[in-house]
Structures are given as C-alpha cells and as structure tokens.
Structure 1
Amino acid sequence: MQPVQLVEPHKKVEDGRVREVSVPPLAPRVAVGSLADIPFTNAAEAPEEPVLSRKVRDGSWQDMTARELAAEVLAMAKGLIALGLRPGDRLAIMARTTYEWTLTDFAAWAAGLVTVPVYPTSSALQARHILQDSRARACFVEDVEQTRMLSAERGNLPGLEHLWQFSSGAVGHVVDAGRELPDELVAERRAQLGPQSIATFIYTSGTTGPPKGCVLTHGNFFAEVDNAIELLYPVFRGEQSEPASTLLFLPLSHVFGRMVAIGCLRARVRLGHAPSLKTEDLLPDLASFAPTFLLGIPYVLEKIYNTGRATAERMGRASSFDRGARIAQRYGEAVEAQEHGFGGGPGFGLRAARGLYDTLIYRRIRSALGGRCRYVICGGSPLGHRLAAFFEGAGVTVYEGYGLTETAAATTATPPLKPRLGTVGWPVPGTALRIADDGEVLIKGDHVFGGYWEARTGSVLPHRDAEGWLPTGDLGALDSEGYLSITGRKKDLIITSAGKNLAPAPLEDWLRAHPLISQCLVIGDNRPYVTALVTLEPDGLAHWRRMHRKERLTAAELAVDGDLLRNLQQAVDEANSLVSRAESIRRFVVLPHDFTEEAGHLTPSMKLRRAAIVRDFAAEIDTLYPR
C-alpha cells in the first residue's frame, strides 16, 4: 500500500489564538458489519498469512495463520452459544495480556456478546462492582487465586451464571460444549451486529470516584483503528523486507492495549502477547520476539533510559552516556526542525557524533526493546521533549498520542511526516478538538462513545454537550499549527492561597523522568506555596546506594540522607526552571515506600489517586508547612 499524504488540520482562530482544529478522515466510515468479522475476513482474504504468534515451552514463538485463528474463534463462539449466552449478554474477562484474552474477545463478539474487561489486579470489591454494574452473566479469569476471590463473591453476584478459569482448560471446556452446533449459528449472530452495536463496556480507572462503564460500539473502534492504521502507516504497514510485528505487554483491560490488538488484527500485523511486565520476564520476550514496534507508556521509556544510564555509570562511563544523550537529543531536534522546514537537518559533525555513540550507547537502548524496534506508540501521560528527542536520536521514533477510554483510545497522535516533539500531535483523522474558555479539551468524532452505562435503568447516559462536544476534564493548549499539549487535569488544578493557578503535571512528569524518582505528587491547593511528595525508583536507588556505599541504610534512613536529598534537590531545581517562582516547588519530602495500586494510591493504569495520597500522607504534608 502506498503511503498516504499527510493531511494538514483545519484551524479556527479566535482572539488571535487557535481554539479549534479538525482533520478529515483518511478511512471510509464502516457502514455494515462488526469487529467480529475481522478474523473471518482475514481468513478469506489471506488464509496463510501469520496474524498471531504464541510462545511455546522452549521460549520460541509459533505463528498462527489467519485461517487457524478464525477456526479457533468459530469453535469458541459456538461453545458460548451452546452454554446459553444470548446476544447482548455481558461476558467479563479478568486476566493478564495473553492469547486467550484476545481469542475470547473476538469469540464473544462472534457470538453476539458484549465483553467487559476487569483488571487482573483488581480487588474483590473492585471486581464485584464491575460485574454487578455491567450485569455480567459469565466471567473468564486467569488463575485459581482469581477463581477463589470471585467464588467468595458469588452471593453478591446472583446474575453471574458462569465462572471459567483459563489455566484449568476453560477454553477447551467451552469449545467442547459447542462441537455439535452448526457453524451457521455463529454466522447468524454476526449478521445481527452492525457498527452501532455495543462491543464493550470499559470501566474508567476511578481516580475521582467509583469506576464508570464507558459504552463503546463496534463503529467507535472501527473509526479509531482504521484511521490510526492509515495515519501511522510506517508502524502498521512495515517494510517489505521486515513485516510489521508487535509484542503487546500493556494490559488488554485498558483501552490503549485493546485498540492496538484490534488494529493489529485489522491490519494483519503479527501480534504476540507478554503477560509479565517484570524486567526478567519482559526483556527475554522482547529479545526472542524482536518486534518492529511497541506500545508503551512513558514509565517504560523512562525506565529504559534510566537503566541505560545506571549501567553506564556502573561501568565508569556515565560521562560518556551523558554526552551521547545530549548528541541524541540534538539530533532528534535537528530532524524535527528539518521536517518542519526550519533547517537542513543534522549536519556532518552531528551525524558523525551520532554514528560514534550509536555503537557505544544507542544500540544497547534498541537492544532493550528487542533489537528491531523502530517505532514506539506512547500514551497515558506526556513523555516530554527531552526523552522524545533522545529516542529519535537513538534510532527509535516515538509517536505520542492522547486519548481517553471514552474515545476508544487515541484522539490525537504525532503525524509521521511532521512531528513536534513534546506535544501529543494533531487530531487523529476524523476528529475535531476545541479548547474551551477555561482551557478544557473538547472532542468530536465517530470514535467518541455514546455515554456511560446506567445499571439502574439498563440504558446509556449521553455525555456530550448540546453541540456534540465531549468534555474531557483535561486542560490543554493548541499552538499556531494546531499541535495539542496537555497541561493537566481540570480537577487537579492547584490554586494556592495567594490565588496562583497551576497544573501539577509538568513538574511531576519532569521529576518522574529522573533516575532516582519513581513517583511525585505536587501539593499546594489552598496552601501558601507549592511542595511535593517524592518516592524513590528501586533500580536507580539500588545503583545510587552501591555508588555511595550506603547499602546498609534502611528505607527510613535513606529518606533523610543528606547526600540523597542533595541529588534530589538538583532534580527539583531543574524542574523549577520550567516554571515561575510562584509555581516552583519550595520544599519536598521523600517517602520511605512507593505508591502502589495495592495500597490504593495508584489506579491499574498507574495514575495517581490524589485524594487517597493526600489523606494517607497528611502528617508528612503537614511537615512541609511549618507554622
């Protein structure tokens, strides 16, 4: 397929500022059919083309053709029908990122069902809320611990008729139940579905209250993935000598991972699943699979960068790494300027320096991503100009994006032919966005959901204004060319007692990129000045302790160690250089333990639960404001 031409956004200017941008769709709107058709269309058009890879016992990967996947989807769909599930019934999936997750998703759709993801790390209370609210009739879980947890809740879930466990052969059990059914029953169920049919309820992470079920249709996902595939053609189309492939390790219970899984099958990109994010598990999987692109969040790229620097420091080459990092950043910035017509690109000296450090540094960075990775699609929170430029210079192009569960994932993305580092790009084709008078980002498009599920009435509550705009709750700004920057959450906006308004996200994102810092929460609402709670990154801290010969210090002793605090103060000073004096962090405290999902301080998608943190660390916060 020939690369598409980049479509410039249409801009509306008010009072000398760009207030609205829109980009026409690159893909036609799907008028008939559903996501359930994708495996069967692939099997009809390219039956022997590899579309999935499954890891086998010896650690290698075994390809699965489009024909083989369609046969497994058909067999499982027949079983779901045989076990009494009716069109429109909700089927929940609570598991890590595995082949069985994707298989069940498409089989459920082929049977006319609505799938409901549940994070595998959810507590019993969280899982119960989602299963109750969605009125799920069936649920797949991954292992015996999840089975026990939900079995204990069955008295609170009278509508849950089936509870199946992947690790004990649930797929085979379901397939066996449907062996005698004719294939035509699945075809009939698929024929009842259209773009307007509900595909899934995806529950929000619940940072500010109980999770709400976002009702997304098959048409929402088609509008999202079809336009994303056309926009990001270097990623999804690959090169003739090296077909596109990706190893998915982010949770399929999150809309971001789900969208990419659907997009890969839609574009027939070879897809693998990695259930563990632990470094000792993920790095071997990346090396053996060798993907051409990855889906990530800033945390992953920050960790790769920080690990690379820590390794160099351990080898006595920290200064060399830092010089190489600066070269990569300059190179990435020169490439960006050239693509915007502001310069001639990297000069001879910069290219020569990059070539030198490619062997010393950048190749190791690429190796950590599997060796062949050329692109990373990054979302969840801003990556920042510094790291985006570094990875571009290191030979890995990062496409940043921004979106919500309510928009079926990305609503903006970095345009391939015209990136602007440090922004989240232009609207995905087929999307319009506007900045409201108070700075809130508003969105329109076929990928935007219809509303939230209302369990009490069994209906969908619309969530758009009178003109069809979706209020996101995020604050942002458009530059003169229509690139969007996200500056924070509307509900997170801090107003000091002196009346200064500030968004904490830029300071938090900058500090989180430091090798010693895991998480940062900026505080200052109704306070005289801005402060912060800081937690420490385990890998970076372990390296720092070795270098400073402080392995014997306890976590509490490290939190007040003078040498460590001086290093952290340098990081805070760098972050403060980005903002005005009134917005700068005056004091900070180091917490002896990190924020975790188990403690209720992080959502499953790694977002801070601000209210819970402020409540649980009220004593530490009080020390930052002595009377």
Structure 2
Amino acid sequence: MTPMRASDEKVDHAKIENRAPSVARLFIDRVTRTPDAEAFRFPDGAGGWTSVTWEQTGDRVRLLAAGLLALGLDVEDRVALASSTRYEWVLADLAVMCAGGATTTVYPTTNAPDVAFIVENSGSRVVIAEDDTQVAKLTEHRSELSAVEKVVVIDGPGDGDWVITFDELEQLGRKLLDDNSSVVMDRIHQLEPHHLATVIYTSGTTGRPKGVRLPHSAWTYEAAAVDSIGLVGADDLQYLWLPLSHVFGKVLLTIPIQIGHATAVDGRVDKIVDNLAVVKPTFMGAAPRIFEKAHARVEAMMEDEGGAKKKIFDWAIGVGVRVSQAQQEHRSPGVLDSIQRQLADRLVFSTIRERFGGRLRFFISGSAALNTDVAQWFDAVGIPVLEGYGLTETSAASVVNRPYANRIGTVGWPTPGTEIRIAEDGEVLIKGPGVMTGYHNRPEATAEALESDGWFHTGDIGDIDADGFLRITDRKKDMFKTSQGKYVAPASIASMFKGISPQSAEIIVHGEGKPYCVALVALDAESTTDWAQHNGLGGLSFAEITRHERTHDLISRHIDELNLQLNRWEQIKKFTILDRELTVEQGDLTPSMKLRRKVVVDTFADSIGRLYE
C-alpha cells in the first residue's frame, strides 16, 4: 500500500475561487438554494428537539438584522455577543453580519472586569447578552462602556431604556422592514470580502487578551476550502456543543452554511454523550479532553465488569489496534487479524459506536494535542478522530487530517490555499486567506506576529514529514531548558501521560533552570471517584482521595511507565497530586479547555518549590 501524499489530493479549486463575497451573502444564498432543508435543531426545553429549516432561520435573522439597522448599526460596527452555545447565538451572529456589523465574541464565563475590557476595547456599540447574569456584568461597569448604546437580552426583561429584549429587537426590525423591505439586502450587497466580520479575543495567559480581526473573506475561505476536499456533505448531521465564542466552534458554524448540512446545537457539556445517542450525528468537533474522558469512561466500565467480558473487550481492542496500526503503516492486515476484526466489531465495537449514536463517520479534534494512544483506540473501534490544527489568528481550520488520509500523531495536511513553512528554529509559520488582518488597535503586536508578506508566526514548534503531514511537538514559549542545558517539551510529555493515566486530567511538567524535572498532577474527578469506589476509598471526598497513599501509589506507577518512554533529562523525578480539579471557573483552563500553564504554575508555586527541597 503506497502512502497518499498531500500533492495527490483531489481538490475542487473552483469552490474556493468562486466563493461568496461575505458570510452574509453566503447565508442568503444558502436560504435561497435549500429553503426547506433542515438547518438547525435545538433542545425544546421539554426533553425533545425542535428542528428549523434554512428559510425559517433566514426569516428570524432578517428581522434581527433589521432591528440592528434600526439601532443605527453601520458597516464594521462591533456588536458584542456574550452567551453560551445555543440557537439564539447562531441567529444573533448571523444577524450582526447581515446588518454589516462585526461580532465580538465574549465567553459567558468571563468575569465582569474582563467583559468590560473586551466590550470597551472593541468599541462595541451594541451588546447581545444571554441573561440577567450577563447583563449584570455590563451594568456593573456601565460607566466604562462609552460606546455601548443598547444591550439586547435573550432571556430576561428589558428596563425600558438601556436594555431591550430579543423580541423587542425583532419588533424594531419588523417596523423597519414595513417601511423599507429591502433594507437588509441592501446592506448585504454593500459588504465586500475585506470588511470586518468577527473580533475574537484570545484567552490571554498573561496580560490583557488581544482582539483578533477576521474579515468575511477568512470565513468564506475556510468554509469553501473544507467543501473543496469533500470532508463533509449535504447529508451529514453535525453535533455542535463547542463554545461559539471560540474560533473552533465558529468555523464549525460557518461550514454548514456553505455545504447545507444540518447542525444540532446544544452547549451543555454534561449532555454530550446523552445527546449523541439521541441526535445520532455523523460528525462532531471537540477538544481532546472530551475524547480522553470518553475513552477513560469506557475502559473503567469494562474494568468494573471484569471476568469474561473484560477479557473479550481487551482482546477486541488488541485486534482493532493491530489492524489500525497496519493501516497507518500502509500495509494490509494479516488474514487472521482481518477475520478477528470482523468478529470484534460484532461483539464489542458496534456496541461502543452505538453509545455515540451509531452513525459517526469521524470526530474532529482541535484546540490542543490529542494523545496518540487515545486516537489509536478510537480508530480501533471504528470512529476515527481527525486531528486538526489552527489558531484564532488563522480562523481555526488551517490544517486537518482527512478521512481518506488520517495519520495518527499528526494534525494532517493544510487546507487548500493555505501554506505551511517551518522556520529555522522549528516554529510553524502559516500563510493564507484564513490569516487575520491584525490585532485590534495593537499595531506593534500585529507587526511582531505577522510579517509584511503575510506569514504568521504561530508560536508552535513542529515538522512536516515526507508525505506533507504536519506534526506539532510543543508550544515555543512553553519549552524550557534544564540546568544541564537540555530542552524539555512539556506539552508532548503531558500528551503521552494522558494516554497512560485515565485518572489524570493534566500533568504540568516543570524544570526551567533546574537539575531535574518535577510535575503537578491534576486528577479527573469522575474517573478518580470511580476508581476510588472500587479500591476501598468510596467514602472519601475528592480532596481526601487525592491525598491518600493508594492514589499516590497509582499515579507513581503511571509516572514510572511514562519515564520509560522519556529521555533521562525529561524524566519526572518527583511529583505532587493537586487536591482539586483544574477548572475554567478558577482560571486554570481557557473556555476551550486548554491549560493555562503559567497561571497553574504561579498558583501552585509553593507546591513546586517543595518538590525541589
């Protein structure tokens, strides 16, 4: 079997060259082409799901866009959107762009001072807030929000002055359309590819976040590039739970407008597995932690079963992994393995796939590195995880594996039209239509990251293999040098450890200027509690479990196994287990569940110090 190379890929370049001039135009064209096709479905509040067509979605968007025009919104005026992932987020975002404005995304978990900073720094004239909690953050800092003229609340009452309701915005739109029925289309026809569509503030680990300016052309390119390689089709059904305030979620919201497939929208993370079984999607995007937790959960369940079931499960996984590895190495599996793979599928894998709805063609993983053992496990059971790569500054989907060319351990090939280059120091550089125009009101930061000829410095270290697959090895700023002068890549070590230790959520390796490496280990509450119940620790609190000698022994064995795979200078000599989970709420993780390494290191500096005593 000959490996497929990036140069062999069939690409419909016409889809990229002839793409719509704006997301607003792309959306209106979609409504016109397939008005009666399902566009979105969302929870109805009574345990069921409501489905809406493209035409129904278009009607709501038109009213809301007209409402924004009635408020005086001009081309490229910013509208901040502070809400969790839900259908109304979709409507609001599309309405802003159809009114010619630019959506400034705000995570609903953002604290009030940071919300005020983002809204004021972006110059937002209108804020669309999910509920009273989000409105309260704005009210608390109203004196600082010089440009904000109106706040629109999705769930909750208005105040008759500064705050109006979603319904009231629609009523304003209806009145304007009665007077001028073409007002929204007139605005859409004004928009050009270079006009600003979105401002997304990066989750800063130090200092204030930077607003990334993304024009309409970036989003229409991303959608057209995915369409050009046939990654998904009109018959697919996406399950979308990711934060739409994050660039990964935002690009997965733009792709269906180009292609026309339906999307089920529900941002409740605790409902993902339950919803997958009901919605039965064909693909879903997620951060690696979701796959790591699902893998650990299934493995723990089988450990509980024990006996013959556990032996059959382990046998099936072994067969599946062997077949997957053979395919990765471009060789045909042996006859016996092929026959056993079919039996394993009937006995084990089909049941696992049913837990995820039974129709998944693949998952897409992004935002952080995916452990290769976890990726191999999913591939073995028949649900490939296509790892991709991109940044807020590159509109997310810069590089992605394909269903027909998925190389585990890499993030795949660039999307057509995007170029990747490796600098002399190993840094990954990206150039293409998806790259930002710059940071909002930050010319010096823009000049530092973006070269005059369009090459963006990602800050990530990587390499490209002979077949064109990109591999990301670490974050440039996270790499450190020990006192022995040896470089250590902590993200790579963390990815390896997560595949070894199902009870661990994160491992933070430290050793800058030190003679050896130490680590902070953060446990996953669900997996650790399940383990504790079966190991005589069922009556203890999570904090007590983390401090127990048996838990320390368990993680110590996992560290020993990790060290066998590391160079001597990378090995973990000492570790401590944190007595709480790392969370978004406490600032340890970004809303997209990426580790804020510096924050965690600073928070637990005393614990690290004791490891060197």
TM range (shorter): over 0.9
The 1:454–1:67 alpha-carbon spacing in structure 2 relative to 1, beyond 3 Å, is same
1:67 equivalent to 2:55? Answer yes
Shift of 1:343: 1.4
Give the residue type in structure 1 aligned to 2:125.
R
Q: Is the 8 A contact 1:378 1:398 kept in 2?
A: yes
Give the residue type in structure 2 aligned to 1:409.
A
Measured against aligned partners, the alpha-carbon deviations of 1:43-79 in whole angstroms (never above 9, x if no partner) come to 2212211122233244333322222221111111111
Q: Is the 8 A contact 2:5 2:468 kept in 1?
A: no
Shift of 1:315: 1.8
Q: Is the 8 A contact 1:444 1:469 kept in 2?
A: yes
Partner in structure 1 of residue 160 of structure 2: none
RMSD: 2.3
Give the residue type in structure 1 aligned to 2:219.
F
Aligned ranges 1:193-232 → 2 under 5 Å: 193-231=191-229
Partner in structure 2 of residue 249 of structure 1: 241
Partner in structure 2 of residue 543 of structure 1: 530
Counterpart of 1:64 in 2: which secondary structure? Answer: strand
Instruction: Pick from 27, 48, 52 the counterpart of residue 40 of structure 2.
Output: 52
TM-score (norm 2): 0.92
Q: Is the 8 A contact 1:110 1:189 kept in 2?
A: yes
The 1:67–1:122 alpha-carbon spacing in structure 2 relative to 1, beyond 3 Å, is same
Q: Is the 8 A contact 2:75 2:99 kept in 1?
A: yes
Instruction: Pick from 381, 395, 398 the counterpart of residue 385 of structure 2.
Output: 398
More displaced 10-residue stretch of structure 1: 358-367 or 146-155: 358-367
Partner in structure 2 of residue 429 of structure 1: 416
Aligned partners of 2:502 and 2:80: how far apart in 1?
A: 38
Aligned partners of 2:206 and 2:223: how far apart in 1?
A: 29
Shift of 1:26: 6.7
Aligned partners of 1:253 and 1:422: how far apart in 2?
A: 28
Instruction: Pick from 260, 274, 280 the counterpart of residue 266 of structure 2.
Output: 274
Aligned partners of 2:376 and 2:110: how far apart in 1?
A: 36
Aligned ranges 1:258-407 → 2 under 5 Å: 258-278=250-270, 281-316=271-306, 317-337=309-329, 342-344=330-332, 346-407=333-394
Runs of 5+ consecutive residues of structure 1 not aligned to the other structure: 1-5, 11-20
Give the residue type in structure 1 aligned to 2:72.
G
Shift of 1:481: 1.9
Aligned partners of 1:534 and 1:563: how far apart in 2?
A: 15
Partner in structure 2 of residue 574 of structure 1: 561
Give the residue type in structure 2 aligned to 1:237.
G
Instruction: Pick from 435, 455, 479 the counterpart of residue 469 of structure 1.
Output: 455
More displaced 10-residue stretch of structure 1: 52-61 or 269-278: 52-61
Aligned partners of 1:275 and 1:398: how far apart in 2?
A: 21
Measured against aligned partners, the alpha-carbon deviations of 1:190-249 in whole angstroms (never above 9, x if no partner) come to 111111111010111112331100000110111112111222x2x4216xxxx2001100
Aligned partners of 1:402 and 1:62: how far apart in 2?
A: 33
Q: Is the 8 A contact 1:330 1:389 kept in 2?
A: no
Measured against aligned partners, the alpha-carbon deviations of 1:546-589 in whole angstroms (never above 9, x if no partner) come to 11111233445433433222221222223223321111111111
Aligned partners of 2:13 and 2:429: how far apart in 1?
A: 18
The 1:487–1:455 alpha-carbon spacing in structure 2 relative to 1, beyond 3 Å, is closer
Give the residue type in structure 1 aligned to 2:173.
G
Partner in structure 2 of residue 17 of structure 1: none
More displaced 10-residue stretch of structure 1: 176-185 or 486-495: 176-185
Runs of 5+ consecutive residues of structure 2 not aligned to the other structure: 158-164
Aligned partners of 1:539 and 1:353: how far apart in 2?
A: 33
Counterpart of 1:180 in 2: which secondary structure? Answer: helix
Measured against aligned partners, the alpha-carbon deviations of 1:578-625 in whole angstroms (never above 9, x if no partner) come to 321111111111011122222222222222222222222111111211
Give the residue type in structure 2 aligned to 1:166.
I
Higher helix share: 2
Instruction: Pick from 168, 171, 193 the counterpart of residue 173 of structure 1.
Output: 168
Instruction: Pick from 595, 607, 611 the counterpart of residue 620 of structure 1.
Output: 607
Aligned partners of 1:192 and 1:482: how far apart in 2?
A: 40
The 1:570–1:498 alpha-carbon spacing in structure 2 relative to 1, beyond 3 Å, is same
Q: Percent of pairs identical after alignment?
A: 35
Aligned partners of 2:570 and 2:390: how far apart in 1?
A: 27
Q: Is the 8 A contact 2:20 2:26 kept in 1?
A: no
TM-score (norm 1): 0.90
More displaced 10-residue stretch of structure 1: 52-61 or 389-398: 52-61
Aligned partners of 1:54 and 1:541: how far apart in 2?
A: 33
Counterpart of 1:210 in 2: which secondary structure? Answer: coil
Aligned partners of 2:172 and 2:78: how far apart in 1?
A: 19
Shift of 1:359: 4.0
1:85 equivalent to 2:73? Answer yes
Give aligned pairs, total: 596
Partner in structure 2 of residue 419 of structure 1: 406
The 1:555–1:376 alpha-carbon spacing in structure 2 relative to 1, beyond 3 Å, is closer
Instruction: Pick from 541, 546, 558 the counterpart of residue 545 of structure 2.
Output: 558
Partner in structure 1 of residue 83 of structure 2: 95
Partner in structure 2 of residue 486 of structure 1: 472
The 1:466–1:73 alpha-carbon spacing in structure 2 relative to 1, beyond 3 Å, is closer
Instruction: Pick from 233, 240, 246 the counterpart of residue 237 of structure 1.
Output: 233
Aligned partners of 1:614 and 1:55: how far apart in 2?
A: 39
More displaced 10-residue stretch of structure 1: 586-595 or 385-394: 385-394
